[in-house]
Amino acid sequence: MSSRKTKIRPLRRAAGIFFSLATAMTAYAGFGIVDSSPVSMNVNAAYDYGLVDTCQEGVILHAWQWSFNNIKANMQKIAEAGYTSIQTSVIQQAKESTKGKTNSMWWVYYQPANFTIDDTGNSALGTKTEFAEMCEEAHKYGIHIIVDVVANHLGNQSAYDISNAVPADIRNDASCWHSTNFNKADKRNTL
Per-residue model confidence as pLDDT tens digits over 44-68? 667 676 777 777 777 889 998 899 9
3-state secondary structure of 172: coil
| Buried-exposed string 150-164: b where 16+ CB fall within 10 A, e elsewhere | eeeebbbeeeeebbe
Number of Cβ atoms within 10 Å of the Cβ of 107:
10
**Who has greater pLDDT, 34 or 77?**
77
**Rounded Cα gap, residues 10 and 158, in angstroms:** 36
Q: What is the rounded distance in angstroms from the CA atom of residue 34 to the CA atom of residue 22?
A: 17
What does the pLDDT read at residue 6?
58
pLDDT in tens, 127-179: 999 999 999 999 999 999 999 888 877 777 665 567 777 788 877 777 776 55
| b (16+ CB within 10 A) / e for 40-59 | ebeeebbeebebeeebeebe
33-153 CATH fold: Transcription Regulator spoIIAA (3.30.750)
Residue pair 155/95 in contact (Cβ under 8 Å)? The answer is yes
